[in-house]
Amino acid sequence: MRQHRLALCKDHYPQWFIEQTQRFIEKYRMFTHQDRILVAVSGGKDSLALWDVLWQLGYEAEGLYINLGIGGEFAYSDESQQAAQKFADQRRLKLHIYHVEERRGESVPAIALRTHRGRQKPCAVCGLIKRHTMNQMARQLGFSVLATAHNLDDEVSFLFGNLLSWNLRQIPRQSPVLEAEEGFVRKVKPFIRFSERETAAYSIVRGIEYIEEECPFAEGSKQLQYKDLLNRLEEQQPGVKLRFLLGFFNAMEQGFIHPIEDEQGEVILNPCPSCGQPTSTGDLCATCRLFEEN
């Protein structure tokens, strides 16, 4: 690992990885052993690695798999669900499953096809439904923390994309921890300082059977382009991604980057009349509107 100037054997790598995760959990005050943690799992390397690490650290962590109904040549969602279930069964862990089509009557690709938001690519609809469902399930099931496996590459490419388009509303919201607010569960990202290569290496060394196939809709996405570009830079400048992200967090902490105040003052959140989740619209929330739109 050039950025850490560190070389570890296959026996010591998982130990280092687990210790580092615990260090990040404490550093960013993410949660304690008193919390009940819901881990969002996709069947991929990052989320199963996160669940595995939290399990090994003795946290009370259950999984949530959201079946989006993505098919194609490879039955992506069903195969991913099977991988997540197998992982849970092997460790006797509890996996909660939310099947979008069974609950909502339509799969994510079908919703995307008939709605304005998803017309070009289903990723925006998919992200909205996932964020909504994760929060809803965590609250309904009584979890105090929702953990996602966003890693260094996810965060750096997201920040880079937001800077390229000067998305000044989104930039100050990026953080290792999003505190709980009325109607919103606390959200944490324990892998935020690991590169995707490091989480993949952990999963391989630990023998975790994850889904290697990429979501069929991710091909050609801007996020993948940014990740590739930033990794080309990382090859030349080891540690540049971590410095970019930590520099941003540092600037946030020191008050150089501020959240934009809404012109109308504080945003008032009301419960959505359909699902009960908080929304600023005064009517149906953005997710429930997707199901009303024809």
Partner 1 sequence: MPVVLIYRKQKLEVEGTLTVREALQKLGLSPESHLIVRNGELLNENDILRNGEEVKVISAISGGAR
Q: Which residues lie near partner 1 (CB under 8 A)? A: 7, 10, 44-46, 123-124, 126-127, 130-131, 150, 153-154, 158, 195-197, 199-201, 204-205, 207, 212, 214-215, 217-218, 221, 223-224, 227-228, 231-232, 234-235
Alpha-carbon distances of 46 from 39, 127, 148, 200, 285, rounded to whole Å = 11, 17, 9, 7, 30
Q: Closest separation between CB of residue 5 and partner 1, Å?
A: 14
Q: Closest separation between CB of residue 183 and partner 1, Å?
A: 20
Residue placing its CB nearer to partner 1 in the complex, 51 or 59:
51
Q: Closest separation between CB of residue 215 and partner 1, Å?
A: 5
Residue placing its CB nearer to partner 1 in the complex, 107 or 195:
195
Residue placing its CB nearer to partner 1 in the complex, 4 or 197:
197
Amino acid at 46: D
Residue placing its CB nearer to partner 1 in the complex, 219 or 263:
219
Q: Closest separation between CB of residue 113 and partner 1, Å?
A: 16
CB-based contact 30:177 (threshold 8 Å): yes
Q: Closest separation between CB of residue 293 and partner 1, Å?
A: 18
What does DSSP assign to residue 62? E
Tokens of 282: 């005064």
Residue placing its CB nearer to partner 1 in the complex, 110 or 124:
124
Amino acid at 256: F
Pairing type for strands 60-67 and 95-99 reads parallel
Q: Closest separation between CB of residue 197 and partner 1, Å?
A: 4
Q: Give the residue among 42, 124, 123 at the shortest CA–CA distance from 78.
A: 42
One DSSP character per residue, 198-223 reads HHHHHHHHHT-----SPPTTTTT-HH
Residue placing its CB nearer to partner 1 in the complex, 59 or 196:
196
Q: Give the residue among 152, 148, 145 at the shortest CA–CA distance from 127.
A: 148
One DSSP character per residue, 66-117 reads EE----TTTTHHHHHHHHHHHHHHHHT--EEEEEHHHHHSS-HHHHHHHSST
